[in-house]
Amino acid sequence: MNEQDNPSIMSHMSVGSNQLDKALAFYDKVMATIGARRVLDFPEGVAYGKVFPEFWVQQPYNHEPAQTANGVHFAFMAYSTEQVDAFYQAAMEAGATCDGKPGPRPEYTEAYYGCYVRDLDGHKIEAVYWDESKAPEGVEA
């Protein structure tokens, strides 16, 4: 894959789970709302993505309990406000805890629309839509 195909600076990220089967059922529902699917499936974890494995949900490699980190969250790109809303709705129906309902985030810019939830293990995840027509001059998604 070259830079034009994928402008992201990230290869992948992962979260640990203490209840892998429930976490995978949660992420199967939530990731589908933004067009992602299971790309790789292993006994101790699954990788989600659109083309390649970008987001892993797994048992911790060292077999210690999974933990969350204060100040860390994972944001997934949505391509409309409707996708952000669907992400939030799917997450809530699958047992997430609300950490910020869908809506504009003018404190970031007028272009930012997102939602925040905590997954079943307490990881903070977000869906964000960047409306380029409202972006400050010189700032792109």
Higher model confidence: residue 70 or residue 37? 37
pLDDT digits (tens, 9 = 90+) for 91-113: 999 999 999 999 999 999 999 99
CATH number reported for the structural domain that contains residue 99 in this entry:
3.10.180.10
**Exposure string for 73-85, b = 16+ CB within 10 A, e = fewer:** eeebbbeebebbb
What share of the chain in percent tops pLDDT 90?
Answer: 83
Decide if 124 is inside a domain.
yes
Residue 66 covered by a domain: no
Q: Is residue 101 part of a domain?
A: yes
Question: How many domains are contained in the chain?
Answer: 1
Give pLDDT tens digits for 11-53.
Answer: 899 999 999 999 999 999 999 999 999 999 999 999 999 989 9
8 band by pLDDT with thresholds 50, 70 and 90: confident
Type of residue at 45 = G
**Structural domain contains residue 25:** yes
Is the model more confident about 103 or about 4? 103
